[in-house]
Amino acid sequence: MRLIWDDLRTVLMLVRHQTLAGAADALEVNYTTVARRVRRAESTLGQILFERLADGYQPTEIAKVVASHAEKMETSEFDLRRYLQGADSALTGTFTITAPQLLISSFLAPVLDDFDQAYPNIELRVLATNDILDLTRLEADLAIRISRNPGDTLKGLRLLKQETASFASPRLADHIRSHPTDMIDWIVYDTFPNVPKGTSPMFPNNRVRFRFDDMVAMLGAAQAGLGVLRVPLFLGRTTSGLEIVPVLPPQPYSDIWVVGHPDVWPSKKAQAFREVLIAHSKRSRSIFTSQAD
Amino acid sequence: MRLIWDDLRTVLMLVRHQTLAGAADALEVNYTTVARRVRRAESTLGQILFERLADGYQPTEIAKVVASHAEKMETSEFDLRRYLQGADSALTGTFTITAPQLLISSFLAPVLDDFDQAYPNIELRVLATNDILDLTRLEADLAIRISRNPGDTLKGLRLLKQETASFASPRLADHIRSHPTDMIDWIVYDTFPNVPKGTSPMFPNNRVRFRFDDMVAMLGAAQAGLGVLRVPLFLGRTTSGLEIVPVLPPQPYSDIWVVGHPDVWPSKKAQAFREVLIAHSKRSRSIFTSQAD
DNA sequence: TAAGTTATATGCGAAAATGCTTGTATGCGA
DNA sequence: TCGCATACAAGCATTTTCGCATATAACTTA
């Protein structure tokens, strides 16, 4: 019995995605190819691996066992690729980072510019997402994250401390300052559905007016004067049409970290990127806290 | 970077064998294919994996790392294949056993016959070798071994206790019995280069005359009357032209075991083979010891 | 020094794998 | 109930991979 390793990988992907098209996307092949590889695997194993149903391929118990072993193989592949990435001393090729969308324009854009100037032969790929990408699976080489915790197995470096404050449109800000005891409307994030704690006693009347699940939309609502917003200082300060209001005094917030997998961390490209990143962080420290205000 | 798993396996084989032809044999492909796959792997990794020398492909350090990861993948493959083998409840297909050559003709042949009669749809493959095959790598499904110890991770079942005794050609045996104090010539195995311990006091004069590294040759030499031989009872008894001589009284010897990997052990085919094996062992017990003499 | 052995390299035709296209079934929603 | 989207299946053409035959280089040995 001579198993084809790439057929095992194909079975793994089909078990994960349950449809030929899904597995084919993951493998970057035509879905017909997935179907044929699976048929071939079934015939060499002498076992039926999937039930062909109208809504996809349903894995049998045996297929799940096959997939679990293929998953171990995949882990070894990722281990290898991370090793190679870490050992790579070239300042050429591609380099992938990920960061929350809102950090890009206000903070990261100059870093990308500096890096591209300094290392024109490195093709920088930026994944702007709030999803926590899996650095173990090399979804990115480095991640910039807003979190006190760099993650379990990841190496991390704290770039910046930061604080939050309350922001509002200039009109609303004026009104609040001149009528501090009026009811103040808040725009809050879905996951923190109440008025932030720690509001100043000078502004005793607060209520939630809107809840959003998207920060960009919240900023838009605040720009339109719909309410007061609690955001990191850098974000409020770099968003036009917003100014700080003293309703909520500056409070410490999760720090900004650059994190990476220990295997990949020592690579020349990662080193280079961190240098540029740290230099820029030092320069822009004042945007993130009220200290230097 | 999209690595082809079977290319990694090819690199592993080439690191192991160091020549295209050797790796190609192991993979059962043409050696040209090995060369091409390795080139492809090198180009996708962007790394040179082997130095092409006159006497073969010399792996670089990176190739060794690649191979070590591919080896983990291979381990997972064997784990899977053993699992599938163990879960296989069919009494069809091939089944592989291994045993020392000398056990085959005298002891195992009837078992093979019985098994083939009882399970004509199973194609039995017999690897007659003194090498200890690696059951973890599925080089065989079951092994019949002469050893007190069934092995570290293997499951085992003791089939037979056995004893050794001294044998000689009829002519020599006659002479020894009639002239017990004459010098007795021994034919011994290279790894036990002295006269066996425990010779009877009735035959005080013993010396080594020949050392061999091959048991078949030793039996031939004994048949030709060149000396006395210590062999397991079953072997002396079933070899024509030899008879037992009382120089060395029967002594316990390593037992005969059937061993298998725990994963494969419960498979229907392995169960079936063990049943036939055990039945035959019980019937032929008397050949192996002096008890029933 | 010439023949033989053991390596790798390369060109060509056969075989295999792959992608594309068309056809069919099923479920969802206007 | 009629698209519409999503799934798989199957046939055909293309591309890729593979094996064979041949050539070349290094080393051994008579």
| pLDDT for residue A290 | 86
Distance from residue B30 (CA) to nucleotide D23 (C1'), in Å? Answer: 18
pLDDT in tens, A217-234: 999 999 999 999 999 999
CA angle A74, A80, A85 (to 5 degrees): 125
- Under a CB-based contact definition with an 8 Å cutoff, are residues A70 and A9 in contact? yes
Q: Which helix (H) or strand (E) holds A39?
A: helix A31-45
Q: Which helix (H) or strand (E) holds A52?
A: strand A50-53
pLDDT in tens, A126-165: 999 988 999 999 999 999 999 866 567 899 999 999 999 9
Instruction: Indicate if the pLDDT at residue B47 is higher than 80.
Output: yes
* C-alpha radius of gyration, chain B, whole number: 25
Alpha-carbon distance of A204 to A71, in angstroms, equals: 57
Chain mean pLDDT for chain B:
94
Alpha-carbon distance of A67 to A52, in angstroms, equals: 17
The residue-averaged pLDDT of A111-136 equals 95
Chain mean pLDDT for chain A:
94
With an 8 Å Cβ cutoff, are A47 and B79 in contact?
no
With an 8 Å Cβ cutoff, are B46 and A93 in contact?
yes
Chain A residues with CB under 8 Å of a chain B CB are 1-6, 8-9, 28, 45-47, 62, 65-66, 69-70, 72-73, 76-77, 79-81, 83-84, 87, 93
Distance from residue A43 (CA) to nucleotide D12 (C1'), in Å? Answer: 24
SS percent in chain A: helix, strand, coil, step 5:
45, 25, 30
Name the band, by pLDDT with cuts 50, 70 and 90, for residue B151. Answer: low
The residue-averaged pLDDT of A19-33 equals 95
pLDDT in tens, B89-111: 999 999 999 999 999 988 999 99
Query: Smallest Cα–Cα separation from B58: which of B66, B67, B49, B47?
Result: B49
The residue-averaged pLDDT of A2-27 equals 96
DSSP string for residues in chain B: ----HHHHHHHHHHHHH-SHHHHHHHHTS-HHHHHHHHHHHHHHHTS--EEEETTEEEEPHHHHHHHHHHHHHHHHHHHHHHHHHHH---S-EEEEEEE-HHHIIIIIHHHHHHHHHH-TTEEEEEEE-SS---GGGTS-SEEEEE-S---SS-EEEEEEEEEEEEEE-HHHHHHHHH-TTS-EEEEEETTS-SPPS---TTS--EEEEEEES-HHHHHHHHHTTS-EEEEEHHHHHHSTT-EEETTS--EEEEEEEEEE-TTTTTSHHHHHHHHHHHHHHHHTGGGT-STT-
| pLDDT for residue A151 | 65
Within 8 A of A79 by CB-CB distance, chain B residues are 69, 72
**Which nucleotides on strand D sit less than 7 A from a protein beta carbon?**
6-11, 17-21, 25-27
The residue-averaged pLDDT of B159-182 equals 96
**What is the percentage of chain B residues whose pLDDT exceeds 70?**
98
| pLDDT for residue B101 | 92
Closest nucleotide to the alpha carbon of A31, via C1': C19
Name the band, by pLDDT with cuts 50, 70 and 90, for residue A293. Answer: very low
Instruction: Indicate if the pLDDT at residue B113 is higher than 70.
Output: yes
Instruction: Indicate if the pLDDT at residue B292 is higher than 60.
Output: no
Q: Which helix (H) or strand (E) holds A89?
A: none
Name the band, by pLDDT with cuts 50, 70 and 90, for residue A66. Answer: very high
**In this structure, what token pair is assigned to residue A65?**
């066992």
Sequence-separated (6 or more) residues with CB below 8 Å from residue B218: B187, B189, B210, B212, B229, B231
| pLDDT for residue A85 | 96
Higher pLDDT, residue A293 or B265 = B265
Q: Does the CB of B35 sit below 7 A from strand C?
A: yes
